[in-house]
Structure 1
Amino acid sequence: MEPTPKPRMTKQKKVILEELKKLDTHPTARELCGIVRERLPKISLGTVYRNLELMSKQGIIRKLEVSGAEMCFDGNPHNHYHLRCVICGRVADADLPLIQGLEDSMAEKTNFQIISHNLEFLGICPKCQADRKRQRDASLN
């Protein structure tokens, strides 16, 4: 049996991945395109999006899809949890250990073959909390 060939890493794909991995945020394709254009001024949004989709399918990065929100991308392909601000939409990694046995428990209870799972906590980020407090304080004065 022949080994599976490694995915081809074009210059554009390499720059997109490098820039994504530098971020501790989870940008949309449009946001990441703006960052990548600093290094590759002629790159199109379509090229960035196609490469993100491809890298997501290859397991190099993660695509975060939430109903009603624009897709975000995560340079960390390993299973981990996220926090999402319900006001500004910012997504951050939740620094928690994975719940061991969760997928096995779900498979036993449902007879589904579990492939993966996403756990996302919803809340209000510190910046939005501060903005709300400032607005409340201003309305009291």
Structure 2
Amino acid sequence: MRAVLQRVSEASVRVGGAVVGQIGPGLLILVCAMQDDTEAEADRLAAKIAKLRIFRDAEGRMNRSVRDVSAAALVVSQFTLAADTARGNRPGFSQAAPPEEGERLYLHFTEALRAQDVPCETGQFAADMQVGLVNDGPVTIWIDTREA
């Protein structure tokens, strides 16, 4: 699985003008299930993110996790993280999991993150979403379970 994490002061997702998910301080997590991913990758990604020390401690150093600071996550599925831009000018997305499998793994990842004691809000799978955020730092980190 692939994920882009953004440490945020606040984030929200709208579908058709209605807010479907929002958080205050925490993480906006854009996530994509790739071909051949399993629940094991989703579980490993959730555990890694829950423990990743990217929040400030009392001295201002990035030394605390999302759990340590009692923050939340807004999890949004984003198949475009599977973009292959190696050839031509139109990205290919054939490495993304098929939609049904992608949704299943997206939901599994969200539940795995909740099991790590991280409160989660979500977007709406396969919807045209408008994501708003205030990036804190800015801090943006990319994780691929095949490389981590």
Return the TM-score normalized by structure 1: 0.26
Answer 1 or 2: which has greater helix percent.
1
Q: Which of the pair has the greater relative contact order for Cα pairs under 8 Å at 6+ separation?
A: 2
